[in-house]
Amino acid sequence: MKIGFEAKRAFHNHTGLGNYSRQIIQDLNEFYTDNEYYLYTTSFEKNSNPLFRLFRDYPNNHLRTPSGLLSKISEQLWRRKLGLALKKDQLDIFHGLSNELPTGFKDFKGKKIVTIHDVIFKRNPHWYKSTDRKIYDTKTKQACKDADQIIAISNQTKQDLTELYSIDEEKIEVVYQSCSANFYDNENIPFRNEIIDKYKLDKPYILYVGSLTHRKNVMQLLSAFSAIEKKTDHDLILIGDGLLKEPIEQYIIAQSLQQRVRLYTNFPSSDLPPLYQLATCSVYPSSYEGFGIPVIESLWSKTPVIAGNSACLKEAGGPGCLYLENNKPDHIGEYILHLLENKKRCLELSNAGFDFVQKYERAKCTQALFKLYNQ
C-alpha cells in the first residue's frame, strides 16, 4: 500500500500535533514495513531536523518538498498543487494528520483521511482569538467535507464533531494515540540517576507538563502550590511554554518561590520519562482536551495523576487519576496534599493506571489505524 501524509507539522511543530504526527509515522514504519510512505512537507533544515535524521535510513520512506520554481514561491501555492504530486505518486491513501487537508485534490483518485484532534475553539470559543477561531473552523469544516473518513483521537472529539458539525457518526472512527516507547521503560536506573544529577533533583517534586495557557489552569496550580508550599517538602516543576510564561515567572518572583518552583520552557523530550518516573505525582488540571497525552505519559511512568474533571481526561486516565471537582487553587492544593501524605493511595493509583494504559500501547493503536487503512 502507498500511504501519503500531510507531514508539515511532523517536521515543523515540536509540541502536541507534531508529536502525534511523528509518532504515527514512526510506528507505521516499525510495525508495517511492507508499505511505501510518502511525507509531504514544506522545506526544512535537514541537518537539524529530528524526523529527517530518524527516517533517512528507512528505504520505504519518500520525502516530498517543493522543488524548482515552487520552492521559491509560497507554501500555499505548493499545497494547492499537491494533488498533482499525489497523483504522480499513485497513492492509495492520503492522511492529513493534524486537523486539515490541503486543497488541490482534483486529480487525486485515492482515499482521503483526516485526523481531528479537537474542536475546542468551537466548544469554548472564549479561549481563542476571533480570527483564529474562524481559520480553525473553516479548515475543520472543509477537511471533514473532503475526507472519505475522519479519525477522532477520542470519543469526546467524535461526540463534539457530531454535535457541533452535524457529521454522520458513521464517517468518524475513534483511533487512540499512544506516546513514545521511551515512556515504557521503568527499569533504566542509570538513566534515572543521570537525570537526577543533570537537573539536581535533590528534593521530591510535583510535575506539570503541558502548554502554559489559560485552558490548562497552570496559574491555578501555581497558586495552589503557593498556598501549600510550607506544608510540604516537595517542589513544583513546570515543563512547557506559552502565553502565560511571563505572568508565571512574575508570580514566582512575587511569591518568593524561586527556590521551590522550576520552569523549563525548552526541555528535551528524551529526558521526560525519568522526570515523570521520579515525580511523586503529576498534575494536569486542564479544563478541556481532545485527549490528554501528558496523562498517558504519566500512567506509563507509574506516576499517579491529578487531572481535570472533563470527559476527555477521564477517557485518557481511567482509574489512574484523581479527578478535580473544580480547578480552584484550594481544591487543587487539597488533592495534592492528599497524595503527598498518602503513599498507599499513590500506589493504588499507580497500579490501576499502569494496568489501564496498556490499551494505549503503540502496537495496539497502530494496528487499529492500519485496520482502518485497509478498510
pLDDT at res. 19: 85
- 56 exposed, middle or buried (CB, 10 Å; 0-12, 13-18, 19+)? exposed
**How many other CB atoms are there within 10 angstroms of residue 79's CB atom?**
20
> Domains in the chain and their CATH numbers?
2-178+361-374 (3.40.50.2000), 181-359 (3.40.50.2000)
The rounded distance, in Å, linking the Cα atoms of 68 and 64 is 12
User: Cβ contacts of residue 301 below 8 Å, gap of 6+?
Assistant: 183, 186, 273, 276, 277, 279
> Can you read off the three cell numbers belonging to residue 55?
527516517
Q: What is the pLDDT of residue 75?
A: 64
Q: Where are the beta strands (DSSP E) in the chain?
A: 2-6, 36-40, 61-64, 93-96, 111-116, 149-152, 172-174, 205-209, 235-239, 261-264, 281-284, 305-307, 321-323
Q: What is the tens place of the pLDDT at every residue in 203-240?
A: 999 999 999 999 999 999 999 999 999 999 999 999 99
- The pairing of strands 281-284 and 205-209 is parallel
Whether the CB-CB separation of 20 and 98 falls below 8 Å is answered with: yes
Write down the pLDDT at residue 69: 53
pLDDT of residue 64: 84
* Residue 333 to residue 226: CA distance in whole angstroms: 9
List the Cα angle 371/88/90 in 5-degree steps: 25
Q: Is residue 157 left, alpha or beta, with left meaning phi > 0 and alpha meaning psi from -120 to 50?
A: alpha
**How wide is the angle at C-alpha 106 spanned by C-alphas 101 and 108, nearest 5°?**
75
The tens place of each residue's pLDDT in the chain, 375 residues long, gives 999 998 888 887 777 788 889 889 989 999 999 999 999 887 776 666 666 666 677 788 888 877 655 555 556 666 666 767 777 888 999 999 999 888 777 778 889 999 999 999 999 898 889 999 999 999 999 999 999 999 999 999 999 999 999 999 999 999 999 998 899 988 888 999 999 999 999 999 999 999 999 999 999 999 999 999 999 999 999 999 999 999 999 999 999 999 999 999 989 888 999 999 999 999 999 999 889 999 999 999 999 999 999 889 999 999 999 999 998 999 999 999 999 999 999 999 999 999 999 999 999 999 999 999 999
